C-alpha cells in the first residue's frame, strides 16, 4: 500500500493561514503579474498599527483614562516588583533640558501657554494602596486587641475588688481604667486611619493653568472605589513644598528620583499635605517644579543645591571670615571685633540724633529773611 505524503503529516501540525479569514485575496497583481496578497496584507498591517497605537497611547502621559475600580488599586499578580517598573513614556511636544534648552527657556515656554498644560502624571499607585491597607489592617488589629484585653482586665478588677473599695471609689476606678484603655486604643486607631487616608492625598495628574493669577489643577483618588475622581483647582501661590526638601535630585530620567519615593506639596492654611510620587512624568524636569512650588529663582534652581549644602557653604564662609579676622586683629580678635561693631553702631546713632536735632531746629528755630527785602522782613521773629 502506497502512502501519500499528505497522510504522513499529522493534521495537528497543519495550520490555516490567518490571512485567509481577513478579507478576499487578490492573488495576482494585474500590472506586474506577481502573486501577492494585497488586500489581506493591507488589512493585517492596518490591524497591527491600530493595535500598536491602542497599546502605546496608554503609555503616553495624560492619554489613558483614569478609572477608580478595585483592579486599579491592587496588583493583578503577586510579583510586586513588576509594579515598580516605570511604564510612562515622554510626552510628545514637551521640552527636555539640554544645551539649547536651558531652564529659563523651558519656563518661558510654559508661561506662554494659552491652555491648561499637563505637567505631571503619576505611575499607577497600586503599591501605595497595598502597603497602606496592610499597615492599616495591622494597626486596626492591634487596636482591637488592646481594647479587648484591656476591657477584660478592667472588668475583672471591678468584679474582684481586691482593695475592698466602696461603690463610689470603685466606679471612679472603673472610669479611670477605661479611660487608660481608650487612650491606648486611640493611638493605633489614629495610625490606621492615617494609612487609610494616605492614598486619597496622592496626586494622580496635574495641570498648569496660565493667566494673570496662575492656578494648578490636579486629580486624586476617591476614598471609596467606583466614585468619580476629585478635581481640585488652587492658586499656585497657595501651594509650596517644604523649604528643606528638593524636587530636583539629578537622578533618574527627570532628575527626581530619590530614596524618599515621594515629596509633599503643602496647601496654605491646611495641615495635611498633598503627596506626589517621584516616579512619574514631569514636565521638563524637577527644576521646573522647584521654581513653581519651591518659589526659587532660576539661578537657585539651576544650581540645584540641597538645604544641607547651603548650610555647609554658609558655615565655610563663616569659618573663612573668622580666619581673616584672626589674622587682622590677632589675640582677642572676638572682643576687638565686637568693639568695632559697637563703635559703628554708636556712630550711626550719633548721625541719627544729629539729623533729628537739625530737623527740630528748622521747625522751632529763627526764620531769617532774604537779603534785599523790606525792613520788616529783615527783622528776625522768634517763633514760639
What is the DSSP annotation of 22-82? TS----B-TTT--B--HHHHHHHHHHHHHHHHHHHHTTSTTTSPP---GGGTS-SSS-GGG
Q: What is the mean pLDDT of each run of 10 residues along the chain (384 residues)?
A: 45 43 39 40 41 68 88 83 82 89 92 94 91 95 94 89 82 91 94 94 95 94 92 94 86 88 91 92 93 89 70 72 76 77 84 75 53 46 42
pTM above 0.85, yes or no: no
pLDDT at res. 227: 92
Q: Which long-range contacts (CB under 8 A, 24 or more apart) does 289-294 make?
A: 289/119, 289/120, 289/241, 289/247, 289/248, 289/256, 290/241, 290/246, 290/247, 290/248, 291/103, 291/107, 292/208, 292/216, 292/236, 293/239, 293/240, 293/241, 293/247, 293/265, 294/240, 294/241, 294/246, 294/247
pLDDT at res. 42: 44
pLDDT at res. 369: 44
Task: Give the HSE-up count for residue 329: Cα atoms under 13 Å, Cβ half-sphere.
Answer: 16
pLDDT at res. 40: 37
pLDDT at res. 307: 57
pLDDT at res. 38: 41
pLDDT at res. 308: 59
With vertex at residue 120, the alpha carbon angle to CA 114 and CA 126, rounded to the nearest 5 degrees, is 150
Bridge partners (DSSP) listed for residue 276: 263
Burial of 203 (0-12, 13-18, 19+ CB in 10 A): buried
pLDDT at res. 383: 42
pLDDT at res. 363: 58
Amino acid at each position: 500500500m502506497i502512502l501519500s505524503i499528505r497522510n504522513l503529516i499529522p493534521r495537528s501540525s497543519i495550520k490555516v493561514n490567518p490571512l485567509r479569514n481577513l478579507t478576499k485575496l487578490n492573488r495576482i497583481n494585474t500590472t506586474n503579474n506577481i502573486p501577492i496578497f494585497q488586500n489581506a496584507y493591507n488589512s493585517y498591517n492596518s490591524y497591527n498599527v491600530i493595535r500598536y497605537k491602542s497599546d502605546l497611547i496608554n503609555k503616553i502621559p495624560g492619554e489613558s483614562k483614569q478609572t477608580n475600580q478595585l483592579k486599579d488599586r491592587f496588583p493583578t499578580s503577586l510579583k510586586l516588583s513588576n509594579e515598580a517598573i516605570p511604564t510612562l513614556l515622554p510626552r510628545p511636544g514637551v521640552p527636555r533640558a539640554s544645551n539649547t534648552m536651558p531652564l529659563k527657556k523651558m519656563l518661558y515656554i510654559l508661561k506662554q501657554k494659552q491652555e491648561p498644560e499637563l505637567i505631571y502624571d503619576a505611575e499607577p499607585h497600586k503599591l501605595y494602596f497595598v502597603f497602606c491597607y496592610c499597615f492599616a489592617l495591622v494597626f486596626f488589629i492591634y487596636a482591637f486587641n488592646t481594647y479587648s484585653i484591656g476591657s477584660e482586665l478592667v472588668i475583672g478588677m471591678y468584679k474582684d475588688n481586691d482593695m475592698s473599695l466602696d461603690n463610689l471609689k470603685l466606679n471612679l476606678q472603673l472610669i479611670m481604667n477605661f479611660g487608660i484603655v481608650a487612650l491606648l486604643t486611640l493611638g493605633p486607631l489614629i495610625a490606621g486611619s492615617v494609612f487609610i487616608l494616605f492614598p486619597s492625598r496622592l496626586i494622580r495628574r496635574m495641570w498648569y493653568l496660565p493667566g494673570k493669577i496662575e492656578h494648578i489643577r490636579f486629580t486624586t483618588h476617591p476614598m471609596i472605589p467606583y466614585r468619580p475622581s476629585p478635581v481640585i483647582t488652587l492658586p499656585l501661590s497657595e501651594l509650596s513644598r517644604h523649604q528643606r526638601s528638593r524636587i530636583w535630585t539629578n537622578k533618574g530620567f527627570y532628575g527626581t528620583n530619590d530614596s524618599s519615593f515621594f515629596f509633599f506639596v503643602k496647601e496654605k492654611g491646611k495641615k495635611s499635605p498633598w503627596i506626589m510620587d517621584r516616579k512619574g512624568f514631569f514636565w521638563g524636569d524637577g527644576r521646573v517644579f522647584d521654581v513653581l512650588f519651591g518659589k526659587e529663582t532660576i539661578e537657585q534652581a539651576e544650581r540645584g543645591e540641597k538645604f544641607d549644602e547651603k548650610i555647609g557653604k554658609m558655615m565655610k564662609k563663616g569659618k573663612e571670615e573668622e580666619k581673616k579676622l584672626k589674622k587682622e586683629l590677632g589675640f582677642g580678635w572676638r572682643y576687638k571685633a565686637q568693639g568695632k561693631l559697637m563703635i559703628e553702631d554708636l556712630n550711626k546713632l550719633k548721625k541719627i540724633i544729629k539729623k533729628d536735632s537739625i530737623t527740630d531746629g528748622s521747625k522751632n528755630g529763627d526764620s531769617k529773611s532774604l537779603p534785599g527785602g523790606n525792613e520788616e522782613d529783615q527783622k528776625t521773629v522768634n517763633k514760639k
